[in-house]
Protein backbone atom coordinates (compact mmCIF):
# COMPACT_ATOMS: atom_id res chain seq x y z
CA UNK A 1 0.00 0.00 0.00
CA UNK A 2 1.42 3.38 -0.94
CA UNK A 3 1.24 6.11 1.65
CA UNK A 4 1.99 9.76 1.27
CA UNK A 5 2.59 12.59 3.68
CA UNK A 6 -0.34 14.68 2.60
CA UNK A 7 -0.78 18.35 3.21
CA UNK A 8 -3.76 19.30 5.21
CA UNK A 9 -6.86 19.70 3.27
CA UNK A 10 -7.06 23.41 2.76
CA UNK A 11 -10.70 24.17 2.30
CA UNK A 12 -10.30 24.68 -1.39
CA UNK A 13 -13.25 26.85 -2.08
CA UNK A 14 -13.27 28.32 -5.56
CA UNK A 15 -10.73 31.10 -5.92
CA UNK A 16 -13.56 33.57 -6.40
CA UNK A 17 -17.03 33.26 -4.93
CA UNK A 18 -19.74 35.21 -6.67
CA UNK A 19 -23.08 36.40 -5.38
CA UNK A 20 -25.80 37.35 -7.81
CA UNK A 21 -27.22 40.83 -7.49
CA UNK A 22 -30.03 42.51 -9.38
CA UNK A 23 -27.50 44.02 -11.80
CA UNK A 24 -25.46 40.87 -12.40
CA UNK A 25 -22.64 39.14 -10.58
CA UNK A 26 -20.63 40.72 -7.79
CA UNK A 27 -17.29 39.40 -6.51
CA UNK A 28 -17.56 38.75 -2.77
CA UNK A 29 -14.32 36.87 -2.05
CA UNK A 30 -11.07 35.98 -3.79
CA UNK A 31 -7.46 35.06 -3.21
CA UNK A 32 -4.81 35.67 -5.83
CA UNK A 33 -2.11 33.56 -4.12
CA UNK A 34 0.35 36.37 -4.72
CA UNK A 35 2.54 35.77 -1.68
CA UNK A 36 6.31 35.46 -2.01
CA UNK A 37 7.71 32.12 -3.17
CA UNK A 38 7.82 29.65 -0.27
CA UNK A 39 5.38 31.56 1.93
CA UNK A 40 2.35 29.95 3.57
CA UNK A 41 -1.23 30.67 2.52
CA UNK A 42 -2.86 33.68 4.18
CA UNK A 43 -4.12 32.38 7.58
CA UNK A 44 -6.94 34.95 7.57
CA UNK A 45 -8.37 33.20 4.47
CA UNK A 46 -7.23 29.56 4.78
CA UNK A 47 -6.91 26.99 7.55
CA UNK A 48 -5.60 23.46 7.83
CA UNK A 49 -7.79 20.40 8.33
CA UNK A 50 -5.39 17.96 10.00
CA UNK A 51 -8.05 15.51 11.11
CA UNK A 52 -8.00 11.84 10.29
CA UNK A 53 -5.15 9.80 8.97
CA UNK A 54 -6.77 8.06 6.04
CA UNK A 55 -8.36 9.24 2.84
CA UNK A 56 -11.03 7.06 1.32
CA UNK A 57 -10.88 3.27 1.21
CA UNK A 58 -7.28 3.00 0.03
CA UNK A 59 -5.89 6.04 1.72
CA UNK A 60 -3.09 5.93 4.12
CA UNK A 61 -1.26 9.07 4.94
CA UNK A 62 -0.76 11.90 7.32
CA UNK A 63 -2.08 15.41 6.93
CA UNK A 64 0.39 18.18 7.67
CA UNK A 65 0.70 21.95 7.66
CA UNK A 66 4.37 21.70 6.72
CA UNK A 67 5.67 24.63 4.68
CA UNK A 68 7.29 22.02 2.40
CA UNK A 69 3.83 20.76 1.49
CA UNK A 70 1.76 23.95 1.15
CA UNK A 71 3.24 27.19 -0.16
CA UNK A 72 3.02 29.99 -2.72
CA UNK A 73 5.18 29.53 -5.80
CA UNK A 74 5.74 33.28 -6.24
CA UNK A 75 3.87 33.23 -9.58
CA UNK A 76 0.29 33.50 -8.34
CA UNK A 77 -0.23 29.82 -7.53
CA UNK A 78 -0.73 27.85 -4.33
CA UNK A 79 1.25 24.60 -4.35
CA UNK A 80 -0.13 21.60 -2.44
CA UNK A 81 2.42 18.81 -2.53
CA UNK A 82 2.26 15.20 -1.36
CA UNK A 83 5.64 13.99 -0.05
CA UNK A 84 6.68 10.46 0.78
CA UNK A 85 8.80 10.50 3.92
CA UNK A 86 11.72 8.17 4.77
CA UNK A 87 9.38 5.65 6.42
CA UNK A 88 7.39 5.30 3.19
CA UNK A 89 4.42 7.27 4.53
Residues 46-56: tens digit of each pLDDT: 998 886 655 55
Q: Has residue 87 been placed in a domain?
A: no
Q: CA–CA distance from 17 to each of 27, 51, 73, 75, 89 (Å)?
A: 6, 26, 23, 21, 35
Q: Has residue 70 been placed in a domain?
A: yes
Q: Has residue 85 been placed in a domain?
A: no
Q: CA–CA distance from 30 to each of 6, 23, 84, 85 (Å)?
A: 25, 20, 31, 33
Q: Has residue 66 been placed in a domain?
A: yes
Q: Show the domain range for 52.
A: 4-80
User: Is 0.75 surpassed by the pTM of this model?
Assistant: no
pLDDT value of position 22: 66
Q: Has residue 35 been placed in a domain?
A: yes
Q: Has residue 27 been placed in a domain?
A: yes
* Residue among 21, 69, 78, 19 nearest 45 (CA): 78
Total domains in the chain come to 1
Q: Has residue 26 been placed in a domain?
A: yes
Share above pLDDT 70 across residues of the chain, in percent, rounded to a whole number: 61
pLDDT value of position 18: 56
Amino acid sequence: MRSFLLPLFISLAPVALLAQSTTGWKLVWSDKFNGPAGSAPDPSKWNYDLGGGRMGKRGGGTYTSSPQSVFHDGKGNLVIRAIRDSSGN
